[in-house]
């Protein structure tokens, strides 16, 4: 049984087989794809079961000379894809723990690391198979009211928004409170250059004076739109530009069969805002597995533990 499970440096993986396995699983995401991981992770390994029948990415970085499995910036969760047989679940967990004694990992799999500290997190998704009128019928009254306010206050859709404009407006709006650092945005810029133009979607909202009052960045794959970054100016907040932007994304991609992924959130005000658009709540799980020897385990818990 042990020889069915391998953890392989990413440079030694068959990327074609890897990405096929990711695309084959309905839960597979852009985050699991080799092109994303090659840019966003410091380094990564692939857990491979039986010639890529099941796969899972293991991003790693070095902490004081120790190998830590971690979540790269702008990566919500990674998955054990391919639904391995039940008898392999425990050996997979053991293989991951043998690979690293310090694991900070998020996955849609509730039973990935039995015994690890686990926190349930919240994501929202909206399937876009239906016509816009049907989707809009599930919006809350408050959401529809704010979309109408946005229209009446002069929100104008703009598709001529650059990647740099999104970053500028985001940093202006949230730079003092967001956890992102300049190096994180540089990594995101590298990703934008590595992906195809079809996979990076930037747009915004302007006012009647030509001012950009909101800018958003979405990533795309064959299945999903990922709402990665979005930010209004102060004027944009007053105009309800974020409501207008998300409503326009839903309208423009309605009937495509894609999924709009809101990328969270556990923040009550943000969650309430997202719920206004009638999404489905999908849980994922944050793991903290610290088996370092004393006193390193205590240091790691104090400095790195997510909860």
Would you state the pLDDT for residue 85?
Answer: 87
Domain count, the chain: 2
Helix (H) or strand (E) holding 251: helix 241-253
pTM equals 0.94
Please tell me whether residues 144 and 250 are part of one structural domain. yes
Would you state the pLDDT for residue 3?
Answer: 60
Please tell me whether residues 138 and 252 are part of one structural domain. yes
Q: Considering the domain boundaries, does residue 271 fall inside one? A: no
Please tell me whether residues 157 and 84 are part of one structural domain. no
Q: What percent of the chain has pLDDT over 70?
A: 99
Please tell me whether residues 23 and 74 are part of one structural domain. yes
C-alpha–C-alpha distance, residues 285 and 23, integer Å: 21
Helix, strand, or coil here: 240? coil
Query: DSSP label at 31?
Result: G
Would you state the pLDDT for residue 84?
Answer: 87
Q: Considering the domain boundaries, does residue 217 fall inside one? A: yes
- Identify the domain containing residue 36 by its residue range: 2-121+284-304
- Burial of 267: CB neighbours in 10 Å, binned 0-12, 13-18, 19+: exposed
Q: Considering the domain boundaries, does residue 279 fall inside one? A: no
Torsion of CA 221, 222, 227, 233, to 10 degrees: 80
Please tell me whether residues 107 and 23 are part of one structural domain. yes
End-to-end, the C-alpha distance of the chain in Å comes to: 34
Please tell me whether residues 242 and 153 are part of one structural domain. yes
Would you state the pLDDT for residue 135?
Answer: 98
Please tell me whether residues 136 and 253 are part of one structural domain. yes
Residue 97: which CATH number? 3.40.630.30
Q: What is the secondary structure of 46-98 as a DSSP string?
A: EEEETTTTEEEEEEEEEETTEEEE-PPTT------BS---HHHHHHHHHHHHH
Please tell me whether residues 67 and 160 are part of one structural domain. no
- Extract the runs of DSSP E, i.e. beta strands, from 151-293: 156-158, 200-206, 212-220, 224-232, 259-261, 280-290
> Is 206:234 a contact under the CB 8 Å cutoff?
no
Please tell me whether residues 22 and 133 are part of one structural domain. no
Q: Considering the domain boundaries, does residue 53 fall inside one? A: yes
Among residues 170, 174, 164, 155, which one has the least CA distance to residue 248? 155
Q: Considering the domain boundaries, does residue 263 fall inside one? A: no
Using 50 as the pLDDT threshold, list the residues of the chain that sit under it: 1
Would you state the pLDDT for residue 83?
Answer: 83
> Is 74:217 a contact under the CB 8 Å cutoff?
no
| pLDDT tens-place string over residues 250-277 | 999 999 999 999 998 899 999 999 999 9
Please tell me whether residues 114 and 139 are part of one structural domain. no
Helix spans in 62-207 (H): 86-99, 132-136, 141-152, 163-174, 182-194
Helix, strand, or coil here: 225? strand
Would you state the pLDDT for residue 2?
Answer: 53
Among residues 213, 280, 258, 307, which one has the least CA distance to residue 30? 258
Quickly tell me which residue has 């998955």 as its tokens. 79
Please tell me whether residues 6 and 98 are part of one structural domain. yes
Cα-based distances in Å from 156 to 35, 52, 163, 203, 252: 34, 47, 19, 11, 14
Q: Considering the domain boundaries, does residue 218 fall inside one? A: yes
Question: Between 182-194 and 163-174, two packed helices, what is the crossing angle to 10 degrees?
Answer: 160
Please tell me whether residues 294 and 231 are part of one structural domain. no
Q: Considering the domain boundaries, does residue 262 fall inside one? A: no
| pLDDT tens-place string over residues 187-224 | 999 999 999 999 999 999 999 999 999 999 999 999 99
Q: Considering the domain boundaries, does residue 272 fall inside one? A: no
């Amino acid at each position: 049984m042990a020889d069915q499970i391998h953890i392989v440096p990413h440079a030694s993986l068959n990327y074609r087989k890897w990405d096929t396995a990711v695309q084959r699983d309905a839960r597979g995401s852009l985050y699991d794809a080799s092109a994303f991981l090659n840019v966003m992770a410091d380094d990564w390994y692939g857990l491979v079961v039986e010639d890529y029948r099941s796969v899972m990415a293991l991003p790693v970085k070095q902490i004081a000379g120790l190998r830590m499995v971690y979540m790269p910036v702008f990566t919500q969760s990674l998955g054990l894809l391919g639904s391995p047989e039940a008898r392999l679940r425990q050996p997979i967990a053991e293989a991951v723990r043998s690979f690293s004694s310090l694991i900070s990992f998020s996955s849609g799999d509730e039973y990935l690391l039995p015994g690890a500290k686990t926190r349930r997190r919240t994501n929202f998704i909206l399937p876009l198979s239906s016509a816009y009128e049907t989707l809009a019928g599930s919006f809350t009254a408050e959401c529809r009211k704010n979309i109408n306010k946005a229209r009446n206050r002069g929100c104008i859709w703009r598709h001529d928004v650059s990647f740099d404009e999104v970053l500028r407006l985001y940093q202006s709006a949230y730079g003092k409170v967001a956890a992102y650092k300049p190096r994180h945005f540089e990594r995101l810029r590298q990703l934008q250059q590595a992906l195809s133009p079809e996979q990076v979607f930037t747009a915004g909202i302007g006012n009647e004076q030509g001012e950009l009052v909101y800018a958003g960045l979405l990533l795309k794959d064959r299945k999903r739109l990922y709402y990665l970054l979005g930010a209004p100016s102060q004027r944009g907040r007053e105009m309800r530009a974020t409501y207008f932007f998300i409503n326009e994304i839903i309208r423009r991609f309605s009937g495509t069969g894609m999924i709009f992924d809101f990328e969270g959130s556990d923040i009550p005000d943000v969650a309430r805002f997202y719920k206004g658009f009638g999404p489905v709540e999908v849980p994922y799980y944050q793991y903290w597995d610290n088996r370092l020897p004393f006193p390193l385990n205590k240091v790691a818990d104090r400095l790195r533990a997510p909860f």
